[in-house]
Amino acid sequence: MKKNLIFFLIIIAIVIITIISVQTISKNRLVHSGGKITVGLQKNSLSALLVVAQTNGYFKKLKTNVILKPYPSGKLALQGMFNKEVDVAVASDVSIAVESFYRKDFSIIATVADSNNQAWIIARKDVGINNIEDLKGKRIGTQKESGVHFFLSMFLLHNKISEDQVSILYYPPNDLPKALINGEIDAFSMRNPFIQQAKNALTDNYVEFIDNAVYLQKFILVGISSFIDNNSKEISNLISALIKADTFIQNNKDEAKKILANYLGLIPDEIQNDWDHTLCSINISRDLILILEAQASWLKRNRHIIAQTPNYLDFIYKSPELMKHPDKYRIIK
C-alpha cells in the first residue's frame, strides 16, 4: 500500500513537472505554426516595405503568413511586442535606445526606413506664438522618450532655446490634438495624422515649425531574440521579402506610392510630402550604431540614468540574408 502511494505521488510529480516544462518551453520559444509572423507597425509611409511586400505577394511566395498590426506609434508597437501582442515590431531609434537600458532580450533585425520629416511642431497663434522665439515660456506636449521627443529637444537646442525655458508635458499620441484644441498645451511635437487632426480643428489659428535638418530618424525592425532564434526560417523569409520590396520600390516609385496610399486609404497626392522625405530601404549600417549611442547620451542627460551606454553591436542580429548583400549589411561582421 505504501509503495503504491509513493509510486502514485511520483507519477503526479512527473506529470506536474512535464506540464510546467512544456508551458515554459512554449513561452520561451514563442513558436507559431504555419510560418506566421505578426508585425507591429505605424500606418504611414515608414511601413512601405512591409506593405509592398504583402501587397505584391512576396511573403506568400515564401510560404510565410505575415500579419500587419497597426499602432498609433512605433513606441507603442514596441511595447506591443514586449507584451506578446505581436512577434516583431517597427519602432523608432529612440524607443529602442530607451529599452536598451532595461532589457537585453531583443535584437535589431534591420533598419527599414529613414525620414527627416516625421516630426515637427504645431502651435496655437492665439497664445502669442508666431515664430520660434515665441515658444519660450510655453507648454509643449509630446510623447515621452520617443522620436518626436528627441526631435523637440534637438529643435530647441538648434534654435538656442533651453528646455528650462519651456514646459514639456507628456501625452499619448492620440491625446495630443485634443490637448492643443482644448488649450491644455500651447504647442506639440508630433507627426501626422495627429498634426493634421489639430490643423483641421484650429482652421487658421495655428503655425507650424518644420526643420528637416535637425534629425534623420531611423525606423527599425526588432524582435525578441528567442523568437528570432526559434523561427529563423520565418525571419529569413521576412527579410528576403523585404529585400524584394526594396528593389521594387527603387525601380517603381510611383507604383509603390499607389500601393501605400491604397493601404492607408488615401490618394497618392496626400502622402506625397511624407513620401518625398522617406527612404524605404532595408539595411544594417554603422550610422545606426552612432545614432543610438547619441540618443543614449541624450537619455542619460535627461533622465540622470546611472548606467553605462550599451554596446549596440551586441543587439545586432547577424542576418544571413542581409549578409549576402554587402550594400545592405554595412557593419562590422
Please indicate, yes or no, if residue 46 is contained in any of the structural domains: yes
Q: Give the H/E segment covering residue 250.
A: helix 232-251
The number of domains in the chain is 2
- Rounded distance, CA 143 to CA 79, Å? 14
Same domain for 83 and 46: yes
Which of 209, 233, 256 is where one domain is finished? 209
Same domain for 151 and 75: no
pLDDT of residue 80: 97
Indicate the pTM of the whole model. Answer: 0.81
Same domain for 288 and 161: no
Please indicate, yes or no, if residue 2 is contained in any of the structural domains: no
For residue 151, give the CATH number of its domain: 3.40.190.10
- Rounded distance, CA 327 to CA 77, Å? 28
Q: Divide the 333 residues of the chain into consecutive groups of 10 and give the mean pLDDT of each group.
A: 42 37 40 74 93 97 96 93 97 94 96 92 97 98 92 95 96 96 97 92 96 92 96 96 97 96 91 90 95 92 80 95 92 66
pLDDT of residue 34: 54
Which of 157, 185, 209 is where one domain is finished? 209
- The Cβ-side half-sphere exposure at 58, using a 13 Å CA radius, reads 21
Which of 149, 175, 209 is where one domain is finished? 209
- Rounded distance, CA 119 to CA 174, Å? 15
Please indicate, yes or no, if residue 91 is contained in any of the structural domains: yes
Q: Which domain holds residue 159?
A: 120-209
Please indicate, yes or no, if residue 5 is contained in any of the structural domains: no
| Residue 289 amino acid letter | I
Same domain for 321 and 244: yes
What does the longest C-alpha to C-alpha distance in the chain come to? 90
Same domain for 131 and 105: no
Please indicate, yes or no, if residue 23 is contained in any of the structural domains: no
Same domain for 70 and 129: no
From edge to edge, which strands make up the β-sheet containing 65-71?
Answer: 65-71, 36-42, 88-92, 217-224, 106-115, 278-279
Same domain for 196 and 67: no
Place of cell 512576396: 58
The CA-based angle 54-216-207, given to 5 degrees, is 100
Same domain for 226 and 162: no
- Rounded distance, CA 110 to CA 292, Å? 13
Of 37, 232, 191, 217, nearest to 111 by C-alpha is 217
pLDDT of residue 154: 94
Please indicate, yes or no, if residue 8 is contained in any of the structural domains: no
pLDDT of residue 193: 86
